[in-house]
Structure 1
Amino acid sequence: MLENELKTLPDLPGVYQYFDAQGKLLYVGKAKNLKNRVRSYFNFTPKLCPNPNNSLRIQKMISEASHLEFITTKSEADALILENSFIKQLHPKYNILLRDDKTYPYIYIDLNEDFPRFEITRKIIKKNKIKYFGPFFKGAKELLNALYLSFELRQKKSCKELCLFYQIKRCKGPCEKKITQEAYEKITQEAIQALLNPLSLVKNLEHKMLEYAKNENYEEAALIRDQIKTIQDLSVKIQIDLAKLEDFDVFAVYCEDNLLSMVRFVINNGKIISSNHKILALKNQSEFDLNAIYKQYILENYTQEAPINSTRIYTHDEFEDMELLQDLLSKRFSKKFHLKMPKLGEKKALCDLALENAKINIQKHLKNENYLLLKEIKDFFNLQNYPNHIEIFDNSHMQGEANVGALVAFKDGKFNKNSYRHYHLSYKNDYDQMLQTLSKRALSFDKNPPPDLWLIDGGDALLKLANDIIKSSGANVDILAISKEKIDAKAHRAKGSAKDKIYTQDGKIQLNTDDKKLQFLQKLRDEAHRFAISFHQKTKRKQDLQSSKLIQLGISQGCIKKFLDYYGNFDNIFNASFDELKSLSNAKIARLIKDNT
């Protein structure tokens, strides 16, 4: 079949997808000419086989491929956008996966205002004369608080009369014209310079911290101490002094011990105001694809929704699609971008510094206990992905009432509560409830990219169910299920002694109760259970309250049950039309409900 599909390829730009015999997506690529690019993966004589000139990773992918699909586009730039979108949504097995659902904050100031304030935003504010600083990969809030503590700026968004901040000399009182616009602008410019050099704020913060401690306000002193540490961490310690007050970004990537490290420096007015780094575990060193990594890393840092710091980007290395990426960014933002690898001077020195930071980050990561445990879990359970991002699922109900599903996320070594989700469910048995929960999550992969691993609270049947859902979605997600030990038909959750079973693609595994891998998976499962139970209890209380309301209206339990079976929940009952309610009961009951909602 694959050989016949290769004959149908057009001489057009587009995206191609390789699938294995089970229909699982292996790889997504883009091409200027689909026919030439895809055929370059193969040798055709004496029989169809992988081209030995390609990397070992690509050769292995081709040896597993049995089916090919393609989508044509108007240009290679359009193909690059589509390729990046597919990789983020589906996580193909052999693509480098740099997905990141974070939108980093910027600090901005609207200079259209007479007395402007500094604010935090994650999106472009559509106005002229707005100045952006960032993105700040951490510490934006702390930096903003430090600004307002150090400079007598307008402290409140809306203020019509003098307030406490004026009394304690934290504000000059622009609301009652106690300061001229010219004098306020001078304060604003000083604050801007402090934003460009965050360490300049530390001295004033230290003074405030000592003042609080002296007055025995230890809580406030501790908050400022933490602010100071965050601001100190923002600054990259460098000796390079840029001669010009320029704005640009620097990117560098490095790979060692199967770990990929990426670094971005953001330079405003010749100063590094923030830096970001990312670590990704590869399956093996042969996965290191410089072109693919730079493309994805730069694209995820330049989304259409975010402000841009500069149109100039410097990279430590040259890569194949450099010019294409430059043209794509120019088209996306309607500004001329310049993407270069400097060979001499201060830009080259900054790129070298970024690379050095990438190397140091790998050494730090190798000593991290979380990394070692997750790597052990990956190897022990034969997972395809390093499980940096795990989603854990559980359901909760009481005799078929208040049915809810819960998703808990563990990412970058900690529970990520911003990614927790809960679902109202209509089904009443565990299997169908999990089907509904997992299906809802899979349907959102286009908006919220899938994780590396799903952990299901259940046994073999739910593992197979999750496998079917992931297979139908086309995403590359590993799956494990953990089944609680039963004692007298009840789940046994004793910490450190429960003999839970782990279900994998290769069969059932029972680890010793003191095994760190088991205890880690139990910790994840128990957090999902806690979250599911708390949401169930909240839902049940709400339902009891709503049920009580209907009972007080004189509606029988039998009639309420009939409504619930039909509508699924009380909100739908209260929102139903008079005619619908009448058809399920009678006019009197329908009128009672409509008159009291």
Structure 2
Amino acid sequence: MQQLKEKIKKLPDQPGVYQYFDAQGRLLYIGKAKSLKKRVKSYFRFTPFAPAPNLSPRIYKMVNEIKNLEYIVVSSENDALILENSLIKQLKPKYNILLRDDKTYPYIYVDFAEDFPRLKITRKVLAGKKVKYFGPFPSAAKDIVDSIYEIFPLVQKESCIKGKKACLFYQMQKCLAPCEGKISKEEYRKILDEAIAHIHNKKLLLQKLEQKMLALSAQLRFEEAAQIRDRIDKIRAIEFQSEIDFAKLQDIDVYAIASDKTQAAIVRMFMREGKVVASSSNIVRIDEYKGFDKEEAYKRVLLEFYTTQTPLTASLIVVAEDFEAREELENFLSQKFNKKITIVHPKRGEKRRLADIAQLNAKEILAKSKPKSDIEEQLQNLLDLNSKPYRIEVFDNSHISGSIPVGAMIVYENGAFDKKSYRHYNLHAQDEYAQMKELLTHRCESFAKNPPPDMWLIDGGETLRRLAQDIAQSFGVSIDVIAIAKEKIDAKAHRAKGKAKDLIYTQNGVLRLLPTDKRLQFLQKLRDEAHRFAITFHRKQRSKKAKELELLKISGIGEAKIRKLLNYFGSFENIRLASEEELSDVLNKKDAKNIKKSLN
């Protein structure tokens, strides 16, 4: 402790980021400071050396575990804020709050610099002074744009104007053929303005869609009517706040957080031109031992949303509760977006009503999302994990005698498989150990974009478990690593039906559970899903390779020509389906004839 005390006394009076570690070298907490010296000293008293008495119970518990300190000096407080946020995502410290909803939301936009502008979708800021954004839309952006094109005769495709000739859309009365000058810019602008009004007022949009759906049904075009119905449902899903309409208020982003001992609900509402156009929410599971700091949560939520290259169309951000870093974030966002951004915690008036509505929704979402199972707590107790495994990543690889090796990662979070987070990898290593090393290294290299989970589950034995643990530690991350493997009897895996005697490998040794044990069955379910995903991808790659070899057998068709065909057609299947004429456009008539003859 004397060494830690001396280190604190020698800290510089400069902005930077500090990291606390426990006796085992595990990362406890990352924080940023305007003055490292003053900030870190505030956690301690020095006679005797102990945690400061004014700390919250959560931070007091953390300070008791601190045995070492490291720090990074930066040039400004803003740099410290960015570095702190980046390191928290990559390293997943024990006592920091880690949010995973850091994806960029789509915006609908129009570039009025174009003669006949179209509605398009983007997730980033675009060049151009006359670009106007609508949103963000956490969901249904594409459905809104498709609906607008269904109802209004705008330029339907990017290529339409370039074609200089009226196309099928004109014949279908879905476009007024500005390419042939059949509509003036002024007349087109009136239609565009009406379309934009329907983005703001989705009740009008939904009414028009319902009329369209009924008309299609009356014509017995049920499949098309069903597509419109599904689109209506998606747009309506983001309209549960549509009754809010404040004429005085313009563009405002609203944030609220509600929490209990086990989880927190985060709600975002986006008001544009006096109307709430969309909202989003997500649940953060809380480890009771670590606690939950709502002030830090507000800071993380705002940083995650606005540090991406997203268009910030609002100049006012309303938060349901005040937090320490509010003014600091105001300055940071104002500099980042080069305009005055204000973050307010209103006490009364219309803005307070907005905050209360967001807070009420957060409480309702929290009440409805109680965990259905306590399997995470059971696994934590059984496997002696550092935290409850709310998010688990499972890894497996697949190959045939070392050929066409592939890797797979599946994700289980909050009681369900998160299929959007599944990933597969083409590997190069020949043996299983090297393949797993390559696979896990790929995953660790993506921590900056996709933060580490609570637990890794490896399909393999102790050797692969230890490998995974070493790789995670080499990237500065402490993850609970578990492996599961089939028990071997006389060097053969024992997998008789109904007698799946799998072994669980932990940092404390091997566990043998009865085949009927629900915890074992849960881990087997995760492993089997990873195996299914890996095998499916391997078969796909094998089929692709077989088609490639089939082409290579054709006289005069070498790798260079195959690459040329793939660059043009995109896949081996498209090459197989292409006509002789299409193939000759890429290569020559002789090669095209040989390919069609051999493939047929």
TM score, norm. by length of structure 2: 0.85
Distance (whole Å) between structure 1 residues aligned to residue 405 and residue 448 of structure 2: 26
Contact 2:242 2:277 in 1 (8 A): no
Corresponding position of 1:67: 68
Contact 2:95 2:290 in 1 (8 A): no
Q: 1:40 to 1:119 in 2, by over 3 A?
A: same
Note the alpha carbon deviations across 1:10-64, whole angstroms, 9 max, x for none.
1111110011222221100111111121122122223x22223212222222222
Corresponding position of 2:126: 125
Instruction: Give the C-alpha shift of residue 269 in structure 1.
Output: 0.5
Query: Alignment partner of 1:287: what SS?
Result: coil
Contact 1:199 1:231 in 2 (8 A): no
Q: 1:119 to 1:386 in 2, by over 3 A?
A: farther
Pick one of 216, 225, 229 that aligns with 1:225: 229
Pick one of 41, 44, 60 that aligns with 1:42: 44
Distance (whole Å) between structure 2 residues aligned to residue 494 and residue 154 of structure 1: 62
Instruction: Give the C-alpha shift of residue 502 in structure 1.
Output: 2.8
Does residue 15 of structure 1 match 2:8?
A: no
Distance (whole Å) between structure 2 residues aligned to residue 293 and residue 218 of structure 1: 47
Distance (whole Å) between structure 1 residues aligned to residue 376 and residue 201 of structure 2: 37
Distance (whole Å) between structure 1 residues aligned to residue 436 and residue 484 of structure 2: 14
Pick one of 435, 442, 459 that aligns with 2:444: 442
Contact 1:394 1:532 in 2 (8 A): yes
Distance (whole Å) between structure 2 residues aligned to residue 515 and residue 434 of structure 1: 28
Contact 2:169 2:175 in 1 (8 A): yes
Instruction: Give the C-alpha shift of residue 304 in structure 1.
Output: 4.2
Kindly provide the amino acid, as one letter, of the partner of residue 356 in structure 1: L
Instruction: Give the C-alpha shift of residue 140 in structure 1.
Output: 1.3
Distance (whole Å) between structure 2 residues aligned to residue 492 and residue 154 of structure 1: 63
Query: Alignment partner of 1:395: what SS?
Result: strand
Deviates more, 1:90-99 or 1:417-426: 417-426
Contact 2:16 2:77 in 1 (8 A): yes
Kindly provide the amino acid, as one letter, of the partner of residue 366 in structure 2: I
Pick one of 251, 268, 275 that aligns with 1:271: 275
Contact 2:465 2:481 in 1 (8 A): yes
Does residue 308 of structure 1 match 2:316?
A: no
Kindly provide the amino acid, as one letter, of the partner of residue 131 in structure 1: K
Contact 2:502 2:512 in 1 (8 A): yes
Distance (whole Å) between structure 1 residues aligned to residue 63 and residue 75 of structure 2: 27
Q: Give the CA RMSD over aligned residues.
A: 2.7
TM score, norm. by length of structure 1: 0.85
Q: 1:192 to 1:396 in 2, by over 3 A?
A: same
Pick one of 408, 411, 417 that aligns with 2:410: 408
Contact 1:96 1:293 in 2 (8 A): yes
Instruction: Give the C-alpha shift of residue 411 in structure 1.
Output: 4.5
Kindly provide the amino acid, as one letter, of the partner of residue 141 in structure 1: K
Corresponding position of 1:465: 467
Instruction: Give the C-alpha shift of residue 245 in structure 1.
Output: 5.3
Contact 1:283 1:384 in 2 (8 A): no
Query: Alignment partner of 1:310: what SS?
Result: coil
Distance (whole Å) between structure 1 residues aligned to residue 514 and residue 111 of structure 2: 60
Aligned-pair identity in percent equals 51
Note the alpha carbon deviations across 1:123-149, whole angstroms, 9 max, x for none.
111111111111111111112212212
Contact 1:480 1:503 in 2 (8 A): yes
Note the alpha carbon deviations across 1:297-322, whole angstroms, 9 max, x for none.
01111124111121211111111111
Deviates more, 1:495-504 or 1:214-223: 495-504
Q: 1:551 to 1:200 in 2, by over 3 A?
A: closer
* 1:133-282 alignment, distance < 5 Å: 133-159=134-160, 160=163, 161-237=165-241, 239-244=243-248, 246-282=250-286
Does residue 394 of structure 1 match 2:422?
A: no
Instruction: Give the C-alpha shift of residue 443 in structure 1.
Output: 2.3
* 1:344-493 alignment, distance < 5 Å: 344-366=348-370, 369=372, 372-374=374-376, 376-378=378-380, 380-411=382-413, 414-485=416-487
Q: 1:214 to 1:530 in 2, by over 3 A?
A: same
Q: 1:221 to 1:87 in 2, by over 3 A?
A: same
Q: 1:496 to 1:81 in 2, by over 3 A?
A: farther
Kindly provide the amino acid, as one letter, of the partner of residue 191 in structure 2: I
Instruction: Give the C-alpha shift of residue 376 in structure 1.
Output: 4.9
Corresponding position of 1:534: 536
Corresponding position of 1:586: none
Deviates more, 1:311-320 or 1:442-451: 442-451
Instruction: Give the C-alpha shift of residue 6 in structure 1.
Output: 1.6
Corresponding position of 1:110: 111
Contact 1:401 1:540 in 2 (8 A): no
Contact 2:495 2:501 in 1 (8 A): no
Query: Alignment partner of 1:158: what SS?
Result: helix
Distance (whole Å) between structure 2 residues aligned to residue 379 and residue 309 of structure 1: 47
Kindly provide the amino acid, as one letter, of the partner of residue 256 in structure 2: A
Q: 1:183 to 1:415 in 2, by over 3 A?
A: farther
Pick one of 504, 507, 510 that aligns with 1:508: 510
Q: 1:341 to 1:86 in 2, by over 3 A?
A: same
Instruction: Give the C-alpha shift of residue 272 in structure 1.
Output: 0.5
Distance (whole Å) between structure 2 residues aligned to residue 313 and residue 292 of structure 1: 17
Structure 2 unaligned segments of length 5 or more: list them: 556-600
Distance (whole Å) between structure 1 residues aligned to residue 178 and residue 516 of structure 2: 64
